[in-house]
Amino acid sequence: MLYTLAGGGTLCGVAALVLLIVSTATDFWMQYRYSGSSANQGLWRFCINHKCHAHTITVAFWDATRAFMLLAVLSCFAGVVLGLSAFTNGTKNRRVRTGGIALVLSGFLALLALAIYTGVTVTFFGKRFLDWRFSWSYIIGWVAIILAFAAGVFQLCAYQRTTAEPAPANNPES
């Protein structure tokens, strides 16, 4: 049961890590119409008519969203590595707890990033572009948040279960 919780947490953490990387690297956070052409934007660049350009302006919300997403990826990676170490050292290891904390932190950092992006997009871009929508990469980010939180909770539960169990009694045979 304990390895199942730790394994489930690690599996959710790996899935969250992959989704966070894909979400952060792709250019499909928002789609909109710009001068009659379809356009999309991501954290690093925007594309109009399949021609992509780097963001030339430095706005605090872009920088904050990028920073929180990159920190979420790093924290998730650390949580997965620490979770994998549970299978080599046993689930009573403190690394399981630390991995669970790192995964919950990863979910929280990604939540902050997406909350900032959502707030600015709805208040600023929602008024500027009439025909806009969030795209698949943005939605993948929300799925990654759920998986990261679940992975952290699973690993923390695995650690709690191991510390709550009494040590097996040694009965020397006579």
114-164: pLDDT as tens digits: 998 888 878 877 777 677 778 888 889 999 999 999 999 988 888 877 666
| pLDDT in the model for residue 168 | 56
The CATH number for 107's domain is: 1.20.140.150
Residue of 85 and 78 predicted with greater confidence: 78
Q: Which domain holds residue 127?
A: 1-29+58-163
Question: Does residue 111 carry a pLDDT above 80?
Answer: yes
Q: Residue 147 falls within a domain, yes or no?
A: yes
**Does residue 52 fall inside a structural domain?**
no
Look at residue 49 and tell me if it is in a domain.
Answer: no
Average pLDDT over residues 103-116: 94
Rounded average pLDDT over 107-117? 93
Q: Which structure tokens are listed for 124?
A: 């600023």
- Specify the number of domains making up the chain: 1
Q: For 165, which DSSP code?
A: S
| Cα 27-22-97 angle, rounded to 5 deg | 140
* Axis crossing angle, helix 136-164 with helix 60-84, rounded to the nearest 10: 40
pLDDT at 30: 77
Q: Is 95 exposed, middle or buried (0-12, 13-18, 19+ CB in 10 A)?
A: buried
Q: Is residue 112 part of a domain?
A: yes
Radius of gyration of the chain measured on its C-alpha atoms: 21
Given a cut of 60, whether residue 169 has pLDDT beyond it is no
Q: Please tell me the predicted confidence (pLDDT) of residue 173.
A: 62
φ, ψ for residue 28 (rounded to 5)?
A: -125, 55
- pTM for the whole structure: 0.82
87 falls within a domain: yes
Domain membership flag for residue 171: no
> How many Cα atoms within 13 Å fall on the side-chain side of residue 46?
15
Residue-wise pLDDT tens digits, 31-81: 777 777 777 787 777 777 778 877 766 678 778 888 999 999 999 999 999
Better-scored residue on pLDDT, 170 or 35: 35
Decide if 174 is inside a domain: no
Strand ranges of the sheet holding 37-41, from the earlier edge strand across to the other edge: 51-54, 45-48, 37-41, 30-34, 132-134
pLDDT at 152 (0 to 100): 92
DSSP 129: -
Please give the pLDDT value at position 142: 93
What 8-state DSSP symbol labels residue 140? H
Is residue 47 situated within a structural domain? no
Distances (CA, A) of 139 to 22, 30, 89, 90, 112: 11, 10, 36, 35, 15
